[in-house]
Amino acid sequence: MKIRTKIAIQFSIIVASILAIFSIAIYLLSENYRQKEFYNSLRDRAVTTARLLIKEPQIDRQLLKVIDKNTLSTLYPAQVLVFNDSNQVAYYNYEADTIYYSPELLNRIRNSRYIETTFSNKQVVGTMYQDTLNQNYLVLAQAEDIYGKQKLENIMDTMVVGYLGAVLLTVLLGFFFAGSSLKPISKINDEISLITAYDLSKKLDTGNNKDEIATLAVNFNEMLSRLNQSFELQKSFVSNASHELRTPLAAVKSEIQVALQNDRTPEEYRTVLETLLSDNQRLIKLTNGLLELAKSESNQQIALNDLIRVDEILFKIQEEMQHTHKDYRVNIDFEEIPDDINWVTVKGKTALLKTVLSNLIDNACKYSDNKTADVIINSNSESCIVSITDTGIGIPTDEIKNVFVPFYRSKNATSYTGSGIGLSICQRIVKVLNGKISVQSEIGAGSTFTVEIPHV
């Protein structure tokens, strides 16, 4: 069911129910007032008629009826019976047998002194009356409130017609207002259907910029921008990655072609194979880097439960580095030995933190002539801070902001092997670990990369 229909129906049901409750309440209250009013009149009428009958016993009943008929009374025809002490009819204005009564009813009236009841469609009033000679009489009167009932029926008819009209009007207005309030959403729907994955630069009209629908459009536009940005990044990532892979593969191909052009001595073949092996290692490293980058994207959901001693992991990296690169030197020191071991313990994933620190140490050694990385461990009340400093080639000031962009390599680094993805991996992992990474560098003087991770 369409939201418009749903809103209109719900709105109509609510209004119809409220109107129905009000109408029923008005009807019941009117009926109650009518009855009360009629009982009061009937009582006055009973006493007046009884007084006339008792005072003037010789009064002609026919005359009383004529008076009744010619009175502009709403009680017509009111039948009145007057009983003496021994429950015998003493006076009456109508034939006694046309009036309902029972000894039990008379006793109840004598006990309560006044009673209101109904019989068939008539209202009945019973009361005690004392004449001037202190003689007690019981007066019983009954009549049908024809005029009052007619009035109530008219009210009822008016209410039914009014109710149906109001409900019909509510349904029509409900549809109209629901339609006009949902119009901007339909407009947004039409606009969204025109946006394709190939054209995320399109934007929705944000209307008056004030209401909830404008906020929805603004949020949707922001989401489109983020999607567009990530699509663009992905596109440039794929083209950069294929370019990076193609270069060593093309080199391998031409090396093999050159080697096959002539017969070679075993030493020459060995040299070619050694070059191929080094190219192959470069390719493996690059592919691993790409894999790491892809993994760091999906690391957002992984559980970070390892309690990692940062100093221990650094010493492990130092040891491994000395095995793989005999010429690298890694110096590790504490700025200040912490009193509490927790200040150098962070929560995360050991393998991830190791990737970050080894990448930075590897870069420091790679980009400096003395192949040395100075690692300082420090901590404050919130984080454990590791800074890796080298006295290498440094990064040109205007390029520092780009070094974390995938595949970016500074101009002065092109003579060094690398693919430009290590730092982007580091930045993403540090983000996953809720930390920060920053760099300070001066061309020709060296660089310091600083990683801060909240400690336990």
Look up residue 49 and give its two tokens.
């008629």
Nearer to ligand ADP, 311 or 362 (CB): 362
Query: Shortest Cβ distance from residue 359 to ligand ADP (Å)?
Result: 6
CA atoms within 13 Å, Cβ hemisphere of 175: 6
Hey, how many other C-beta atoms are within 10 angstroms of the C-beta on 71? 12
Contact yes or no for 455/385 (Cβ under 8 A): no
3-state DSSP assignment of residue 209: coil
Contact yes or no for 357/314 (Cβ under 8 A): yes
Nearer to ligand ADP, 224 or 361 (CB): 361
Return the range that interacts with ligand ADP (CB under 6 A); candidates 231-239, 269-277, 308-316, 405-413. 405-413
3-state DSSP assignment of residue 412: helix
The residue whose two tokens read 């790409």 is 290
C-alpha dist (Å) from residue 62 to 66, 314, 413: 6, 126, 131
Instruction: For residue 80, give the nearest of 47, 58, 56 by alpha carbon.
Output: 47
The correct pick among 188, 367, 378, 429 for binding ligand ADP (CB under 6 A) is 367
Give me the 247-286 binding string for ligand ADP, x by CB under 6 A, dash otherwise.
Answer: ----------------------------------------
d(CA 114, CA 99): 18
Nearer to ligand ADP, 221 or 299 (CB): 299
Query: Shortest Cβ distance from residue 422 to ligand ADP (Å)?
Result: 3
d(CA 122, CA 345): 95
Return the range that interacts with ligand ADP (CB under 6 A); candidates 24-32, 69-77, 326-334, 393-401. 393-401
Contact between 392 and ligand ADP (CB under 6 A)? yes
Point out the residue whose Cβ comes nearest to ligand ADP. Answer: 418
Nearer to ligand ADP, 123 or 410 (CB): 410
Residue 319: partners with Cβ closer than 8 Å, 6 or more residues away: none
Nearer to ligand ADP, 127 or 363 (CB): 363
Query: Shortest Cβ distance from residue 388 to ligand ADP (Å)?
Result: 8
3-state DSSP assignment of residue 214: helix
Query: Shortest Cβ distance from residue 362 to ligand ADP (Å)?
Result: 8
The correct pick among 39, 422, 432, 437 for binding ligand ADP (CB under 6 A) is 422
Contact between 372 and ligand ADP (CB under 6 A)? no
Nearer to ligand ADP, 184 or 418 (CB): 418
| Strands of the sheet with 446-454, listed across from one edge | 329-334, 372-379, 383-390, 446-454, 436-442
d(CA 420, CA 418): 6
Phi, psi of 393 (to 5 degrees): -75, -20
Query: Shortest Cβ distance from residue 406 to ligand ADP (Å)?
Result: 8
The correct pick among 403, 430, 437, 451 for binding ligand ADP (CB under 6 A) is 403
Phi, psi of 11 (to 5 degrees): -60, -45
The correct pick among 420, 430, 437, 452 for binding ligand ADP (CB under 6 A) is 420
Nearer to ligand ADP, 149 or 409 (CB): 409
Q: Tell me the chain's radius of gyration from C-alpha atoms.
A: 51
Contact between 447 and ligand ADP (CB under 6 A)? yes
Amino acid type, 295: K
The correct pick among 110, 187, 409, 431 for binding ligand ADP (CB under 6 A) is 409
Query: Shortest Cβ distance from residue 237 to ligand ADP (Å)?
Result: 13
The correct pick among 345, 358, 379, 410 for binding ligand ADP (CB under 6 A) is 410
Nearer to ligand ADP, 174 or 422 (CB): 422
Report DSSP letters for 104-154, one per residue: HHHHHHHHHSEEEEEETTEEEEEEEEE-TT--EEEEEEEE--HHHHHHHHH
Contact between 356 and ligand ADP (CB under 6 A)? no
The correct pick among 356, 421, 429, 430 for binding ligand ADP (CB under 6 A) is 421
Return the range that interacts with ligand ADP (CB under 6 A); candidates 83-91, 168-176, 230-238, 404-412. 404-412
Return the range that interacts with ligand ADP (CB under 6 A); candidates 168-176, 177-185, 193-201, 419-427. 419-427
Contact between 437 and ligand ADP (CB under 6 A)? no
Cis omega (within 30 of 0) on the bond before 77? yes
Look up residue 97 and give its two tokens.
């047998």
Contact between 423 and ligand ADP (CB under 6 A)? yes
Q: Provide the binding-site residues for ligand ADP, judged by CB under 6 A.
A: 359, 363-364, 367, 390, 392-395, 403, 408-410, 413, 418-423, 447
